[in-house]
Structure 1
Amino acid sequence: MTQNANPGLFLTFEGIDGSGKSTQCRLLRDTLQTAGRECVLTREPGGSPGAEEIRRMVLEGDPDKWSAETEILLFTAARRDHMERTILPALDQGKVIICDRFADSTRMYQGLSRGDLRATVDQLHNLMIGREPDLTLLIDMDPTKGLARAKGRQGSEERFEDFGLPLQQQMRAGFLALAQDFPDRFRVIDGDRPIDTVAADVQAHVQNALASKAAS
């Protein structure tokens, strides 16, 4: 069987709010495209028309307008549409998917922070999604600095930032624990450094993943 010279690769970025992961997503996209790789930069919740509609529902408004259980269902529905319409078709075409958040964020924000619902998140994920990223880059950031950055954006999608510093502290600890649970796909990168320094680490991990994928 002939190997695909450029097999698709599914990359996700995770981290607390204000960690700089969205900036790193864009920088990686630009670097890979300059090198001749076809990329799709996407995000969650969102990334497809239906999922973007759900994004507006869950990220805007009163912090307490949805229960954690309802949010899990909404995020899973958005993710299913995103997978069907954006991620899987692009991977089949050999493209690199760069996704700003994925199921690990749901495991944290809904599964951990607002009740012991991690098992529920995983059950729904296994039933309706059934796939993990090839590589997850966790941009680690001090929660106080991250929250200040996030609030400084003054955008309309601040529902989770409005839960305050305790949530961000809990999320950071949870993400680091998740990285220990899934060491084969997680890489933890110190985000409290110059943007170019962080980007260099990101690119090194991604190049290693691309080389491994091509050789498999």
Structure 2
Amino acid sequence: MTFEIKFSAVVLLLATILSAPAHAADRSVAIGPIPSIAGASPALLKTLRALRQRLESDAQDCMESASAMEGPGNYRGSIKKVLETSRLVSLEISGETMCDGVHPSSFRYGVAIDKKTGVRINLSRIYNVATREDKRIFLRSELVESVRESYKRQNATDVSCLDDSDWETGLTNFPLTFLPEPDGSLVLYYAAPDISGACFPPLHLSRRDIAPYRNAVRAGKYNLP
């Protein structure tokens, strides 16, 4: 009788182990800290916490999807400071994810925030480098040549990104966000589809390129370079 009880216990233990999700240990989340910002107001801190909480919520949804698919999953998110002035802070929000156990994905976009009010700043009112359509913005056709050169430089060692001519269409057809950089240039973040994402790292418009499209008075309000 004792042997039968012990044998049943072993069978139950093995069944529990075998029925556990095979990839449960292959799911992980890592989200970087909020960057340090000098003289951050309570309103700004509230906005920064909300940005990080959005990443946390996104990560939770990702892990739930991976669990439902019974596959591995991971989520890496970060908030990086690009530029800080006495009036403004610009942040790059990025992440690398795999939420279905098979297909990796990534995202990267920029936000600029008023340091006093914590409100997002509409950079298009300062830099008229894009047109707006359905609440998204797209590069102006007049600036395509400059961004084309940036794309070629960024992908100089990856022939596959240059072989397909569709990337040139993407320069004006993919929505984007942008941020000012310390040297007065702009960094562009394209929301390219995953199949093209690796070929669209942050691209750049030089200070000279954007000069005709920059409103000096509005830029001065935020002490932008």
TM-score range, shorter chain: under 0.3
- Relative contact order: is structure 1 or structure 2 higher (C-alpha 8 Å, sep ≥ 6)? 1
Give TM-score scaled by structure 2 length: 0.26
Give 1 or 2 for the bigger CA radius of gyration.
2
Q: Which has the higher helix share?
A: 1
More strand by share: 2
